[in-house]
Structures are given as C-alpha cells and as structure tokens.
Chains A and B, each alone.
Chain A
Amino acid sequence: MGLLSKKDAALISDPLADNNPITIQVLGICSALAITAELKASIVMSVAVLFVLGLGNVVISLMRNIIPSKIRIIVQLIVVASLVIIVDLVLKAFAYELSKTLSVFVGLIITNCIIMGRFEAFALGNGPWRSFLDGIGNSLGYAVILIIVGFFRELLGSGTLLGFKVLGDPIEKTGLYATGYENNGFMLLAPMALITVGIIIWVQRSRNQSLIEDN
C-alpha cells in the first residue's frame, strides 16, 4: 500500500486476523452475542463501533498528554459516552426500528471492552493518526466477526438475509422449504451465537497453530 507505511498498514490488518479483538483477545463478546441474530443489526452495530472507536481513539490520543493518569478512566468514559449518545440519537432519528432492535446495546457500546481496551492500550501512547488507524482496524476486526456470525444466524435461524427471504417462504412452503427444510430456532438464541464464535475461534486456531496458547 502506497498510502500507508508498512507499520501503519499492520495496524489495520492485524486486528482483522491474527490479533482479532473478538476471537483472539476475546473482548466485546456481549454485544457479539446479543445483537447478531440479524445481519442488519450486526452491520449497524459494526458501523456504530467503527465511528465511536475511530473518533474516540483520535480524541483520547490528542488529549493523552493532558489527562491526569489518576482520572483517565473517567475521561475515557466521558469521551465514549458523548460519542455513543451521538450514535444513539442519529439512529433514533434515521433508523428508529433498528434502534429499537439494538435497544440497550447501543448504549452499552460505552462498556464495550474493545473500546476501553484500545484507549488504554493504544491511544494513550500513540499519536492521533496511528490511533485512528488502530481504531479503524480493531473495529473492522470486530465487524468481520459480527457479520460472519450475523450472516449464519440470520440465514439458518430465520432463512433470510438482510430481511430478504433467500431460502423461500416458510409459510407458503416455497424454495428450500418445499423439501421439508425448517428454520433452526436455536440459531436465534444467544447460546448459538457463543457456539458460532467458538467455531470461528476453532477454525482460526487450527489454520494458524501459533495462536494456540500454551497450557
């Protein structure tokens, strides 16, 4: 990439694979379980986290030299909270139905461990540009997992993708349903999201053995 130096590019590419916030660091699991029953909700959640983490990292990075370290958590919380409120209000204004589906989980972005984790681990010690890239990278890594989980849960659980009936109509028995196929109700329950994330972790670690922790 000509645009970014190699070191900067790694900030974006690492969290997508070998340092994924969900599958490797196991952060931000709550929201990954709660809102991935629909693909649309996963995407919106990803965009929201992208916005909050990208901007938040920049803000914290700019203020990193003036934040007294004793109260840095409070400062971080205030930054996230203000950004989350912006996201919440935008959703309520332009996508009211969706904001209802996401319900409390938009507000809970504040407590998303990935965000606090990146503020603490990266933004407090790096410049705004690198912090911005780090924020984008990590939220994209979060987004990838959310979208994979959301894709399978919506497809197998409701037979739809983004609300489109891709497998046919379950009531009129068209498409795949004519053969006796039925939606898997378990996919819509949170335990199945955990298992799906677990399977992704399993696949990733068996492809890249160096990720397996020593016992």
Chain B
Amino acid sequence: MGLKEKLHSFKEKHQGKKWLPAFSAFHTFLYTPNETTHSGAHVRVVDDLKRTMNTVILALVPCLIFGMFNAGFQHYQAMGQAVDFLSWETLSIGLLKILPLLAVSYIVGLGVEFIFAVIKGHEVEEGYLVTGMLVPLIVPVDIPLWMLAVAVVFGVVIGKEVFGGTGMNILNPALTIRAFLFFAYPTWMSGDKVWVHGAVESAGTPDAISGETILGNLAQGNDIAYSVSDMFFGFIPGSIGETSTLLILLAGLFLIFAKIGSWRIMLSSVIGALVMGLIFNAVVDAGWVAETSKFYALMSTEYWQHLLIGGFAFGVVFMATDPVTASQTDKGKWIYGFLIGFISILIRVFNPAYPEGVMLAILLMNVFAPTIDHYVVQGNVQKRLKRLKEKTA
C-alpha cells in the first residue's frame, strides 16, 4: 500500500473524529480528496480554493524576496554604509527580520483557523494562506513579534471567524490586522523610526538614523528625496513588501493572466487615483493653495507619482482584488475600484496622520461593496422589467 492509499484509509478509519479537519487540511495539500459525490449534478475543477490561494502566494514571493534584500539595503543606506543591493549582507538582515514575522503570521493565524475548524467541526479553510503571506509584507520591518501575534488573532477571529470563516468576511483580514496594529500601536506603525531596521534602537543616540517613508516626509512638507526610478524599482523605505512597484506590476499582470485578480478593479483604482491626483495638481496650479499650507507638499506631488509611493500599488493589486470582500458585479467592480483609488489619495493628502490612505480606503469600500452590488443588480432588474413592460404592452 502506497502512502496515498495509507493516508486515505487512515482518514476513513477515523471518520467523525474531532481533529479530523486538521488532518484533512494537510492531507489535501498533497492529494485530491478521495470523497466522491454520489448524487446530483456537480462540476469538478482543478483550481479549487487552495490552488487559487497558491497562485496568489506565488505572485507574492518576488515581493517577499525583494523585501528581504530591501530591508538590509535600507538599513545600511541609513547607516551611511555603501553596500550592494543583491548581497549576502542585505539578505541576511532581511532573513533575520522577516522570516520570524512570516513564521509568527502563519503559526498564529493557522493555529486560530485550526482551533475554529476543530470546534465547529468543519474543514480547515484555506483563506489564511494568502492572508498569512500578506501580513508580513504590509508591516514595518521592526514591528515586535508579539504585537503581530495579537493583531493576527484579532484579525482572524474578529475579522473573519465571527462572520463564519473564509468567504463570509466583510473586511479583508490582512488589512484588518494592519488596521488593528495601526490603531493599537501607532508608535510602531507610523512615524520616522519603524520603517528602517535599526532606527528604533538607535533613536536618541549619536548614531541615530532616520527611517521615514516618502509619504511621511511629504506629510511633513519635505520634498521627495528619491529618484523616480528608485521609487519604481523599490529602493525606498516602507512596509516590507510594498516598495517595488515594478514587481507588484508584474505580479498584477500575472494575476490577471491567471484570471484570479480582477483587471477591472486594478484599472479603475489606478484611474481613480490619477483623477484625484490630477484634481489636486489642478488646484495647486490654479493657485488656490498657499505654499505654506500643510497640504501643499502632498497636493503638489505629480499625480502619477502617487502610484509609485506608499502601499497604493500593493493594496490595489493584492487587497482590493480580494474576491470575497470586493464587489461581485462587473459594473460594481468599476465603481468599487474607482472609489478606492479616489479615496486613497484623498486620505493621503488631507490626513497627514494617516499617510497610508489605501488601507483605510479599501476597508471603507469593503464595507460598501455589498451596497454597490445591490444597486447594480437592482438597476439591472429595473432595466429588464422596463423592457418586459414595453414588450408586453
């Protein structure tokens, strides 16, 4: 008897046991389940939830690896030491800081999922696979591990399990986790210390280094100190995985190609952001904003540069397109995406305390997604009723 049959017969033998969902979760990683449907029409597809999730994770891996190099690179840059981007020194810092974050995110998050699966007696849901990967990519590199653990428990339980688990959640779990961290421990999630490894420890000493992000600097009225190519390729401080617009763009194309990410949402978000950026640029050009205004630096930022800085690109490609929390209708997706882009830039400019507007914009639109869908569907119903009336009249 091969391993495959052994595992299958093991499962049959322990049918109905409490911990079986936990076993099944690992089992289906390796093999297709051996249950067959006995009645009714059914469709078998290869791209089930687990495969879909794996595809997204695949798209995230380049961002993660780049983030590891970048974490070390930013550290040495801030210390004033010249170092190659692709070198062992940069990678080792990245590995040392980011692997624990990844481990905490997965162990705690999957732990909660397993506990809930065993209590409720259903299969372990795969929803956390992507969330667990996203979480380390959207936090600053120096965040304490226990804070991440607390936030993950909160995000998975309150953000997802109370609504009934994967597929039932209203808010994107990864962003719920980030928002929790943001409001619970603001000193670790914003400001000029946390974005570069070593800046927290060195604060107040003569060797103090700054770890401010571009958005943070802009909010204080400073100019962008990085070239456009740096911002595009991602050699800038920021949350771990969101700095490289190039890699995110490639990942986005990959997701669209694999028909997992919605191109409607991505495109309309970008349009929304550009429109808001253009409006702000126009306001500045018209001279309606004094240069002394605290909004001036962010408002006068070239409209297209908003796409390169901060977590906008990452949020739009990986979070706004979350199939559970986004709008489901095609027309709804256009509205949903456009408003995400529009509101992101709006929050960025007008609320310097929350420089990362895209997180709040996506969470806000998550809440409105069902409403948008409702009106899109109702609009369609009305249209068809009218047509019916004209025909029968």
Decide if B146 touches A184 in the complex (CB within 8 Å).
no
Q: Which of B147, B158, B162 contacts A182 (CB 8 A)?
A: B147
Decide if B183 touches A186 in the complex (CB within 8 Å).
yes
The verdict on A189 contacting chain B, using a C-beta distance below 8 Å, is yes
The verdict on B16 contacting chain A, using a C-beta distance below 8 Å, is no
Residues A187 and B158 in contact in the complex (CB < 8 Å), given A180-B144, A180-B146, A182-B147 = no
Centre residue among A181, A184, A187 by max chain B CB count within 10 A: A184
Nearest-neighbour CB distance to chain A for B104, whole angstroms, equals 14
Nearest-neighbour CB distance to chain A for B176, whole angstroms, equals 11
- A residues near B183, Cβ cutoff 8 Å: 185-186, 189
Chain A 63-75 per-residue mask, 1 if CB under 8 angstroms from chain B, else 0: 0000000000000
By beta carbon, the residue of chain A nearest B188 is A182
Within 8 A of B (CB), among A131-190: 180-182, 184-187, 189
Decide if A195 touches B158 in the complex (CB within 8 Å).
yes
Nearest-neighbour CB distance to chain A for B230, whole angstroms, equals 33
Residues A185 and B146 in contact in the complex (CB < 8 Å), given A195-B158, A202-B162 = no
What is the interface residue range for chain A against chain B? 10 to 19
Taken together as a complex, chains A and B put the C-alpha atoms of A176 and B205 apart, in Å, by 25
The verdict on B164 contacting chain A, using a C-beta distance below 8 Å, is no
Nearest-neighbour CB distance to chain A for B138, whole angstroms, equals 17
By beta carbon, the residue of chain A nearest B181 is A186
- A residues near B85, Cβ cutoff 8 Å: none
Decide if B186 touches A185 in the complex (CB within 8 Å).
yes
Decide if A185 touches B185 in the complex (CB within 8 Å).
yes
Decide if A185 touches B158 in the complex (CB within 8 Å).
no
B-side residues, CB < 8 A to A, are 144, 146-147, 150, 158, 162, 180, 183-188
A-side residues, CB < 8 A to B, are 180-182, 184-187, 189, 195, 198, 202
Shortest 8 CB-CB distances between A and B: which pairs?
A186-B184, A186-B183, A184-B184, A185-B184, A195-B158, A182-B185, A185-B186, A180-B144
